[in-house]
């Protein structure tokens, strides 16, 4: 049995309740219901936290969990001392969420467009999904969007960042991952607390991915784990091939929708492209020696909403990689420069990063 000690309502819990109260005063009843479930879900995470150091003191702790907890503490130490990430109390606690995913995100797009519906929130800005701590609630909302004629996709999420509003814990949903993947996840999510520009997903995700990759490289090489570094590189290459494949079909669908063909003809051509995408994935999988990591994704409908979830969010990673080199790989100077860029206007930022259209 793990020894459990539950925290009292902290300033983080009070902060969440204050945010909910303000939201309730500003928005409609339906939106209040959405914020209420988000607040309840986050409060459950806050109250469900258990200090990892205390858990490690339990002689009956599962040996597998013990190894993971010790790895997490080592990752935290490295993140703070070697990468300069804002560790504070993040990932010093553990939450057993008791379900497969911590959150389910619902995405929607019109029948003849791959441009997703966007929703705007007080902290995160405008994003292309709505997140629910309950799969049933996500399913109900998804069905309501289907009834309005949208293509809809619902995907489970195993971890997320609260952008520094709360002390993020390690969740049970990520404990099955390989240690190097766990390290990459922690580096990535902590990077969001360094810099986050509301509404600029490509900038945010590219920066966090650059930090994740550089952090993981340093972490694995410092521990003489060249084999795991090779595995991480292979994971990244496969992910990029997957992204490139899906984006190529997303663009082909967008060309179809722009053709102004009759609706029946576009539906037929859309179905054919979806079938061809599956066939091309089968060939890509063969080139991977049968690696099946994306099989579950391709078993879904491959509709516009699903394709919209795979975007070139890593487009600016080369920019950030080069920026790190220009400051002689000094992460402190790198973070300072990125903060300066984040403070620019959207147009100025686009010109500097080369992402203007």
DSSP string covering 123-149, please?
TTEEES-EEES-HHHHHHHHHHHHHTT
Q: Are 169 and 97 in contact (CB under 8 A)?
A: no
Q: What are phi and psi of 268, to 5 degrees?
A: -65, -45
C-alpha distances out from residue 317 to 27, 128, 190, 204, Å? 37, 21, 17, 10
pLDDT digit of tens for each residue in the chain (357 aa)? 344 444 444 555 555 555 554 444 444 455 778 888 998 999 999 999 999 999 999 999 999 999 999 999 999 999 999 999 999 999 999 999 999 999 999 999 999 999 999 998 876 778 889 999 999 999 999 999 999 999 999 999 999 999 988 999 999 999 999 999 999 999 999 999 999 999 898 999 999 999 999 999 999 999 999 899 999 999 999 999 999 999 999 999 999 999 989 999 999 999 999 999 999 999 999 999 999 999 999 999 999 999 999 987 888 999 999 999 999 999 999 999 999 999 999 999 999 998 866
Q: Which helix (H) or strand (E) holds 6?
A: none
Q: Across-strand partners of 168?
A: none
Is the pTM higher than 0.85?
yes
């Amino acid at each position: 049995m793990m020894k459990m000690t539950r925290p009292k309502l902290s300033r983080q819990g009070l902060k969440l309740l204050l945010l909910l109260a303000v939201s309730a005063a500003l928005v409609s009843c339906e939106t209040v219901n959405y914020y209420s479930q988000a607040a309840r879900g986050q409060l459950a995470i806050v109250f469900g936290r258990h200090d990892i150091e205390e858990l490690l003191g339990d002689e009956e702790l599962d040996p597998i969990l013990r190894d993971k907890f010790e790895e997490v503490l080592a990752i935290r130490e490295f993140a703070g001392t070697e990468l300069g990430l804002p560790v504070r109390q993040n990932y010093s606690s553990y939450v057993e969420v008791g379900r497969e995913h911590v959150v389910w995100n619902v995405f929607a797009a019109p029948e003849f467009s791959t441009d997703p519906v966007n929703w705007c929130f007080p902290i995160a800005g405008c994003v292309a999904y709505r997140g629910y701590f309950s799969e049933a609630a996500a399913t109900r909302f998804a069905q309501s969007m289907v009834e309005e004629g949208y293509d809809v996709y619902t995907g489970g999420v195993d971890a997320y960042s609260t952008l520094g509003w709360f002390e993020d814990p390690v969740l049970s949903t990520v404990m099955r991952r390989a240690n190097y993947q766990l390290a990459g996840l922690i580096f990535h999510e902590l990077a969001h607390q360094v810099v986050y520009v509301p509404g600029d997903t490509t900038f945010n995700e590219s920066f966090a991915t650059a930090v994740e990759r550089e952090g993981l490289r340093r972490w694995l090489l410092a521990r003489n784990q060249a084999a795991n570094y090779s595995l991480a590189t292979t994971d990244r290459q496969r992910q990029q091939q997957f992204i490139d494949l899906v984006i190529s079909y997303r663009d082909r669908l967008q060309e179809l929708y722009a053709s102004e063909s009759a609706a029946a003809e576009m539906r037929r051509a859309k179905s054919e492209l979806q079938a061809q995408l599956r066939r091309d994935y089968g060939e890509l999988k063969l080139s991977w020696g049968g690696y099946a990591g994306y099989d579950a994704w391709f078993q879904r409908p491959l509709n516009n909403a699903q394709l919209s979830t795979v975007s070139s969010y890593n487009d600016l990673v080369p920019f950030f990689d080069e920026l790190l080199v220009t400051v002689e790989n000094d992460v402190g100077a790198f973070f300072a420069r990125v903060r300066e860029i984040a403070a620019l206007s959207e147009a100025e930022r686009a010109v500097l990063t080369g992402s203007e259209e």
